[in-house]
Amino acid sequence: MSSMGSQPAKAGLRVGVIGAGVMGSNHARVLAGLPGVSLVGVVDPSPAHRARATELADCNSFETLDQLLAEGVDAVTIAAPTHLHHEVALACIAKNIHVLVEKPIASTVKEGRDIVAAAQKAGVTLMVGHVERFNPAVAAVKQAIAGEDILSIAITRVGPFPPRMSNVGVVIDLAVHDIDLIRWFTESDIVEVQPQLSSAVAEREDIALLQFRTANGVLAHINTNWLTPFKARSVTVATRGKYVMGDLLTRQVTECFGFKPDGSYSMRHLPVGHDEPLRAELIAFLKAVRNGETPAVTGDEGVASLEIATQCLETPSRPAATSPARKGPRRVAG
């Protein structure tokens, strides 16, 4: 270590990790192995969490954010519980520190907008950790549909009840990933939401069937739950010219194309990279910090996905018989 100490200029970016749960510990592990990065340490009030992170990343740990900030950091990744994102991000931005905040950006859209405004005013880089965009299978699907006329998207993200339970249901925990992917695939905003939610076993919703229409007319559907005994993650995209299927776990992406009038078509497997998504994401964040560029997932995009997720939770499902057939002025019941 001492040889590094004698050349502080080469130590690279000083980065800290806030939150040493499952995600934060992984952030620390990846950052510890990146060139041009000096991992200053992780912050977590829990001694058990701190022990796990320091074991994974062999770095210092701190009980409070102030202790980390006193060490001096250029950038932080925030993997603390969602309800702390707002307070922690604002404290870091106030010290002109660049911030990557895990998804969802905050507990509420208003808090998310606060973070975005503060980062803009301070001129620091703010990126939101929608790591699924960096899944090589997702990148392969995105590449396959580039320039195509997209018709529909269906995403399945299901699995067993997670042991690490935060105070959110499947929409904020899982579907927010897919809302972001729909916006990214279509390069359009979601303008209509039709959610069906159920709390079958858990306190919060543990089944969600979400339907969307984007501004450019794509229909999208998300099926997510915590009731499936095994994990499944898949994306299918239908365009005028092809049908693309991606398994995000096995990372196999297949495309059907060349549809003939007799019903025949061709099929091929697409090449998919092997990067660890989190590593690719953190490299992208640090590159944006170093070059002062717009990050891969901006604060505004993080807020937009949270806003749609929130809308899904707030939209009441109306009984079919009473829902008006046409969108007209609502009659107020006397």
3-state secondary structure of 30: helix
| List of residues 6+ apart from 303 with CB closer than 8 A | 105, 109, 112, 113, 116
Residue with tokens 């100490």: 5
- What are the helix (H) ranges across 195-297? 277-291
Task: Read off the pLDDT of residues 198-217 as tens digits, 9 standing for 90 and up.
Answer: 999 888 999 999 999 999 99
Report strand pairing: 98-102 vs 75-78: parallel
Please state the separation of Cα 123 from the chain's center in Å: 23
- Give residue 4's pLDDT: 43
Element (H, E) at 262: none
pLDDT band per the 50, 70, 90 thresholds, residue 11: low
E-strand spans in 215-295?
219-225, 232-239, 242-247, 252-257, 266-270
Alpha-carbon distance of 43 to 79, in angstroms, equals 10
Alpha-carbon distance of 77 to 31, in angstroms, equals 10
- Give residue 300's pLDDT: 98
Alpha-carbon distance of 99 to 114, in angstroms, equals 14
E-strand spans in 63-143?
75-78, 98-102, 126-129
Task: Read off the pLDDT of residues 268-325 as tens digits, 9 standing for 90 and up.
Answer: 999 999 999 999 999 999 999 999 999 999 999 999 999 999 999 998 766 766 545 5
Element (H, E) at 213: strand 207-214
% of the chain surpassing 90 pLDDT: 87
Task: Read off the pLDDT of residues 92-149 as tens digits, 9 standing for 90 and up.
Answer: 999 999 999 999 999 999 999 999 999 999 999 999 999 999 999 999 999 999 999 9
| β-bridge mates for residue 247, sequence order | 234, 252
Q: How many CB atoms are located within 10 Å of the residue 142 CB?
A: 18
